[in-house]
Amino acid sequence: MKLIISILFSLSLSFCVEGYKTIYLMEFENTDGDFTINHLSKSFPDLIRDNYNFRRDVKIKYAGTIDPYIKDQIKNYKKGLLINGKYFIKDLNLYVEFEVFDVNNWISLTKRKIFCRHNDMLCMHDAFVLALEESLSPLLVDELNADIIPHI
């Protein structure tokens, strides 16, 4: 019985779809052009990088200046996720939206929009990190399985 269970477990691991191992970051777009919040265009990608920097199984790279809506520009990217975002202030709220694409087939995998009061950076940090984690965790390679699968 133990042998059958271990064989089924091994087979289930070997047929698991491997998650993404690379995240490509772009600067977020300040859609209003409000110069007082221009610094956030690099702050959000940096926050993503800092949030996943500890993971040895996920690589973080900057995508540069590609236009995320022109598929021909992403041919040289390996399997990964591209995160594109934008932000603006409306009615004293800071709105942040990000979208996650598969760089190989250009399918939008998830899209999130969050907001907090424009002067509450702690709220924005926490809401952004939580939305990011909820969106990316199911898509990324599972660190535990990354160590197990090659040894089967």
pLDDT tens sequence across 83-138? 999 999 999 999 999 999 998 888 999 999 999 999 999 999 999 999 999 999 99
What is the pLDDT at residue 41? 94
Give yes or no for residue 141 having a pLDDT over 90: no
Q: How far apart are the C-alpha atoms of 150 and 145, rounded to whole Å?
A: 9
**34-48, 56-70, 130-144: range with lowest mean pLDDT:** 56-70
Which residue in 129, 110, 112, 132 sits closest to 121, CA to CA? 129
What is the pLDDT at residue 34? 92
3-state secondary structure of 36: helix
Tokens of 102: 């598969």
Which residue in 24, 26, 27 sits closest to 77, CA to CA? 24
Give yes or no for residue 72 having a pLDDT over 90: no
Which residue in 94, 93, 81 sits closest to 25, CA to CA? 81
Give yes or no for residue 25 having a pLDDT over 90: yes
Confidence of residue 142 (pLDDT cuts 50, 70, 90): confident
The secondary structure of residue 79, as a DSSP letter, is S
What is the pLDDT at residue 93? 97
Confidence of residue 74 (pLDDT cuts 50, 70, 90): low
Give yes or no for residue 9 having a pLDDT over 80: no
